[in-house]
Amino acid sequence: MTTHCHFTVPRVKQVRVITDTDFFNEADDPFAVAQALLSPKFDNIALVAAHCGRGAEQMEESYRGLQDMVAAMALDEPATILHGAPHALPNQATPVVSKGAECIVREAMKDDDRPLFVLLLGPLTDLASALLMEPRIAGRVTAIWIGGGAYPVGGPEFNLGNDIAAVNVVFGSTMAVWQVPKNVYEMMPVSLAELDCKVRPQGTLGRWLFDQLDAYNQSDSAAASTFRTGETWVLGDNPAPGLLLYEHRFAFDWVPAPYITADQTYAAVGRNRPIRVYRNIDSRLILDDLYAKLALYARYMEGASC
């Protein structure tokens, strides 16, 4: 548990969290990981480096990126960082065994009365693998997934496209799922000027977060993007920790989990249990919480009162 805030969270309100992230893929994941690690409500069990659809080397780069960020944070209790699957599921029956998937199984089967959430900022490969390895975890985990196209039709979306089979494994199970589809996670826009003012001044971590985003903004990948303006970004992964801070109880619908077709559209087979599909996000609350926690942590690291 973090100690940089003046308030504490009662144990009955605390949750166990595993964050699974394709950290290397783009510059927004680090902001969500930081918010999770700085939230006193969370017992952060592990960070899992996920693939991003382009081979094992990208998963390894995500692993190294997580190491760099955790080092920049200088946490009193450094987060556990694990390797996830290096590639997508070969089919809907075969898991890709990894340290990350094994951690999900181990933590889910532990005798602990605090809820376990897996925050998924990329593909569902590691969670689906854990489910295939030990089906009993379905009733012991809640998945919060940033991914999928807008309902009711769906369509191409990056996280979904990186492992369609894994989404079908999870959606076809009885596991509790909170889905934040593309049209909703795009409700988290920020300007680089805003981040320059509110993030970069906040100690070593704030500077690291801003500078890695600024560097990515100069990259060929960002230049090729048709939806990056050069002065704005979308912190689309931050709703994952944000929903654990404030559940947005009236901002989701119960939707029978669809079957995902090869073209990433939703087929309403009508046989899967309902999942939460969010249709709105309070970006003000999530972003202000992020900025405040970065500021509090910077003051804590400086040894100043706040």
- pLDDT tens for each residue of 65-86: 999 999 999 887 778 999 999 9
Q: Report the C-alpha dihedral over residues 113, 125, 225, 241, rounded to 10 degrees.
A: 0
Token pair listed for 291: 């900025």
**Percent of the chain's residues with pLDDT above 90:** 84
How far apart are the C-alpha atoms of 91 and 170, rounded to whole Å?
13
Q: What CA–CA distances, in Å, run from 51 to 96, 107, 256?
A: 12, 21, 28
Confidence grade of residue 305 (pLDDT, cut at 50, 70, 90): very low
CB 263 within 8 A of CB 58: no
Specify which residues 116 forms β-bridges with.
Answer: 16
Confidence grade of residue 242 (pLDDT, cut at 50, 70, 90): very high
Query: What's domain 12-300's architecture?
Result: Alpha-Beta Complex (3.90)
Residues 6+ apart with CB under 8 A from 77: none
Please indicate whether residue 73 or residue 221 has the higher confidence score (pLDDT).
73
| Mean pLDDT of the chain, nearest integer | 94
pLDDT digit string, tens, across residues 177-207: 999 999 999 999 999 999 999 999 999 999 9
Between helix 283-302 and helix 203-217 the angle, nearest 10°, is: 130
Q: Distance between alpha carbon 226 and the CA centroid of its chain, in Å?
A: 24
CB 278 within 8 A of CB 251: yes
The reported pTM is 0.95
Please indicate whether residue 202 or residue 223 has the higher confidence score (pLDDT).
202
Give yes or no for residue 1 having a pLDDT over 50.
no
Q: Where are the alpha helices (DSSP H) in 119-275?
A: 125-133, 158-161, 164-171, 182-185, 192-198, 203-217, 220-224, 239-245
